Amino acid sequence: MSKPHATSANYYDFVYERRYLEGLPALTRKNLKKIQEFAPKGKLLDFGAGTGRISIPLAKDGYKVTAVDCSSEMLKVLRSKAKTQNLNIDTFSELSKIDSTDFDMAISIFTVLGYITEKEEIKKVFDQIYNLLKPGGYYMFDLESKKGYEDIFRINNGVAYNREEIDFKELVTVDFKFTDKNLCQYNETVSGVINDEEFSYNEEFIIKFWSKDEILICLKELGVLEIKELKYGNTEYYIVQKV
């Protein structure tokens, strides 16, 4: 299995905009509003930045943004977009390569933590991000909801999306085939036309559904004792403040 979005980076924005329509920009607006509530200005770390859904508008708004993503392909798209818009965004493939420790806020949102499947790995990420914050800084993250995927698997035989249009086709499936029922295999086969050029790709990777209790245990083991819960519709967001 490949890293999430390793083969779809050049088409990611087009596919997700086509898939979610107005739902995605609406979510982005909610995300930005909440970020600005906790950190009206300053330095922000976007862990799992992808193609810059959050990093780009924050940089436009005057934030000093550092974007991190393990996919070099996604970061390449982000850098290209930033260059086109004359934005200065630092990019890294690993948290360990960042030497600044004075971020006002860090975020990991939109399925990012679901790509981490091992407890020690997610603890390491939490520890690294926490240490990159300045005292009083915030870390906001969300957790992928297992119920929606289970409903798809049970009610719709694992088919999340199945569309066939003249210039766009997609089949997205999920499968709970692992012994660990908190793991789900995600498969996405997409083809279409962008700027009169045809494209196609297939991606397959694993999503981990972390529970709030599991995350609390990880944070407490790192010495973080307080976590604030926020809710946007069916999505749960969590805020940790560095003391």
State the pLDDT at residue 243: 84
pLDDT tens by residue, 135-144? 999 999 999 8
The closest of 223, 243, 49 to 127, measured between CA atoms, is 223
pLDDT of 204 over the 60 cut? yes
pLDDT tens by residue, 185-194? 999 999 999 9
pLDDT bin (cut points 50, 70, 90) of residue 182 is very high
Give the torsion sign (CA, 40, 44, 48, 52).
Answer: positive
Average pLDDT, the chain: 93
d(CA 88, CA 198): 32
The closest of 57, 34, 41 to 107, measured between CA atoms, is 34
State the pLDDT at residue 78: 98
Task: Give the domains, in start order, of the chain with CATH numbers.
Answer: 9-143+211-241 (3.40.50.150), 146-207 (2.20.25.110)
pLDDT bin (cut points 50, 70, 90) of residue 226 is confident
As a whole-number percent, the residues of the chain with pLDDT over 70 amount to 99
Quote the DSSP letter at residue 121.
H
pLDDT of 1 over the 60 cut? no
d(CA 26, CA 60): 18
Q: What is the pTM of this model?
A: 0.94
As a whole-number percent, the residues of the chain with pLDDT over 90 amount to 85
Question: Average pLDDT of 12-28?
Answer: 92
State the pLDDT at residue 209: 95
Please, which residues have CB within 8 angstroms of residue 235's CB and are 6 or more apart in sequence? 142, 145
Amino acid at 8: S
pLDDT bin (cut points 50, 70, 90) of residue 3 is confident
d(CA 108, CA 24): 16
Please, which residues have CB within 8 angstroms of residue 203's CB and are 6 or more apart in sequence? 2, 4, 5, 6, 7, 8, 186, 187, 188
